[in-house]
Amino acid sequence: MKNNRWEKNLGVLAILFSLCLSTPQVIAERIKDLTSVSGVRTNQLVGYGLVVGLDGSGDQTNSTPFTTQSFMTMLSQFGITIPADAKFQLKNVAAVAVHAELPPFAKPGQTIDVTISSIANAKSLRGGALLITPLKGLDGKVYAVAQGNLIVGGFGIDGRDGSSVTVNIPSVGRIPSGAMVERKVATQFGGNGKIIFNLHTPDFTTAKRLADSINDLLGPNVALPMDATSIAVQAPQNPAQRVDYLSLLENVQVKPGESAAKIIINSRTGTIVVGQHVRVSPVAVTHGSLTVTVREDVQVSQPNSFGQGDTVVVPDSTVEVTEESGPMFEFSPGPTLNDIVRAVNEVGAAPGDLMAILEALKQAGALKAEIMVI
């Protein structure tokens, strides 16, 4: 049954490879899809605040004194003084961490989404509201302020007998458009007279082709590849002109370079993905397995009718060793993925066997590809 399922997987892999062969090997893509613009990036923000209005599912203040301290500090800002020895049972309050991503070119007055996570022992944030919380960047400056009612996708139910049911994560919530931007982030977008495109996947061939495509459109030496990742393009100084200029460039079509020969193996699921450029040198492979079966039985030993002795139970062990035939198959010079799949499929190799075959080919220097195990 196991081999049949694996044969089906290999058959699907062969079909996918055939489809890859029937389509063009290199498809032109837009610069917008291949790169990001240097200086145009998001920035992470984080803050600490309180969620109030919970239905008894907040922090247990006996084990989380910082929740009580934060609550007293908040009240003191409103002129309310509480004795230092006062005892609180703030079951409807939870200390939380608030984080968000500030988009590039975000301006004061715009809103962004925020995520709120409990940092103590609150059971659920459902029904709570986040009080005003400043969000800071790594430089310690406040860039946004968050506040609002939480949307929680999970919930939990407890029974009197101690049983409980939890769906999703009730201690994490979101507030869409829950933070207002208070400070913009300075960018270096084309400020030095150049726009730099950074490839998502570094590749020297793609970098050269991208620069050539821009130069074919705008003239020689307008774009220069700096390395396998970055391409510098001359840009106008006027900001409005840079926007029009970039709008033109990001829609230029580029044929990316083909990826290197690579095999990716998922050791948990047995999934194997083989790239189309994988090649194997002439080599012969034998495949087989050894099965050892141990069976334990018991026999009853009785004395003769007139003999003097006791009836005893005697163990009876049977050990069998079965060695399957190891068929040998040969890879001709430079076989493709389709040849590899067909050859391995013919001998009925299981996922673990195929992994071992590929690794052995790699160690023997016959496999021209990189193997990645995830």
Q: How confident is residue 373, by pLDDT bands cut at 50, 70 and 90? A: confident
pLDDT at residue number 207: 93
pLDDT at residue number 287: 55
pLDDT at residue number 18: 42
Give yes or no for residue 348 having a pLDDT over 70: no
Length of the chain: 374
Instruction: Compare 28 and 321 and report the one with higher pLDDT.
Output: 28
User: pLDDT digits over 185-228, tens only?
Assistant: 887 776 678 889 999 989 999 999 999 999 999 989 999 999 99
Give yes or no for residue 174 having a pLDDT over 90: yes
Residue-averaged pLDDT of the chain: 77
Instruction: Compare 323 and 166 and report the one with higher pLDDT.
Output: 166
User: pLDDT digits over 63-73, tens only?
Assistant: 788 888 888 88
Distances (CA, A) of 53 to 56, 67, 149: 9, 14, 10
44: exposed, middle or buried (Cβ count in 10 Å: 0-12, 13-18, 19+): exposed
Lowest mean pLDDT among 51-60, 155-164, 219-228, 358-367: 155-164
pLDDT at residue number 237: 83
User: pLDDT digits over 272-315, tens only?
Assistant: 677 666 766 666 655 555 444 555 566 766 677 666 667 776 66
pLDDT at residue number 21: 40
Instruction: Assess contact for 362 and 21: CB atoms under 8 A.
Output: no
Lookup result for tokens 């498809």: 27
User: pLDDT digits over 31-40, tens only?
Assistant: 999 999 988 8
pLDDT at residue number 341: 63
Instruction: Assess contact for 262 and 372: CB atoms under 8 A.
Output: yes
The whole-angstrom separation of Cα 228 and Cα 205 is 8
The whole-angstrom separation of Cα 370 and Cα 361 is 11
Give yes or no for residue 17 having a pLDDT over 50: no
Q: At what angle do helices 351-363 and 2-22 cross, to 10 degrees?
A: 60
Most confident of 64-68, 101-105, 257-261: 101-105
Mean pLDDT calculated for residue range 102-131: 92
Q: How confident is residue 8, by pLDDT bands cut at 50, 70 and 90? A: very low
Q: Where are the domains of the chain?
A: 2-23+261-373, 43-181, 188-254
The whole-angstrom separation of Cα 91 and Cα 318 is 66
Give yes or no for residue 1 having a pLDDT over 70: no
pLDDT at residue number 95: 93
Q: Label residue 61 left, alpha or beta by phi (over 0 means left) and psi (-120 to 50 means alpha).
A: alpha
Give yes or no for residue 51 having a pLDDT over 90: yes
Instruction: Compare 129 and 9 and report the one with higher pLDDT.
Output: 129
What residues contact residue 108 under an 8 Å CB cut-off, 6+ apart? 181, 182, 183, 184
| Cα separation of the two ends of the chain | 25
pLDDT at residue number 131: 94
Give yes or no for residue 137 having a pLDDT over 50: yes
**H or E segment and range at residue 360:** helix 351-363
pLDDT at residue number 353: 63
Give yes or no for residue 7 having a pLDDT over 70: no
Lookup result for tokens 């059971």: 123
**Closest C-alpha to 328, from 340, 342, 339, 344:** 344
pLDDT at residue number 142: 95
pLDDT at residue number 231: 93
Instruction: Assess contact for 324 and 353: CB atoms under 8 A.
Output: no
- State the amino acid at position 257 in one-letter form: G
pLDDT exceeding 90 applies to what percent of the chain? 32
pLDDT at residue number 324: 56
Token reading at 51: 């969620």
What residues contact residue 236 under an 8 Å CB cut-off, 6+ apart? 190, 242, 245
Q: How confident is residue 157, by pLDDT bands cut at 50, 70 and 90? A: low
pLDDT at residue number 73: 86
Distances (CA, A) of 363 to 40, 41, 360: 44, 42, 5
24: exposed, middle or buried (Cβ count in 10 Å: 0-12, 13-18, 19+): exposed
What residues contact residue 245 under an 8 Å CB cut-off, 6+ apart? 195, 235, 236
**Closest C-alpha to 186, from 229, 233, 146, 139:** 139
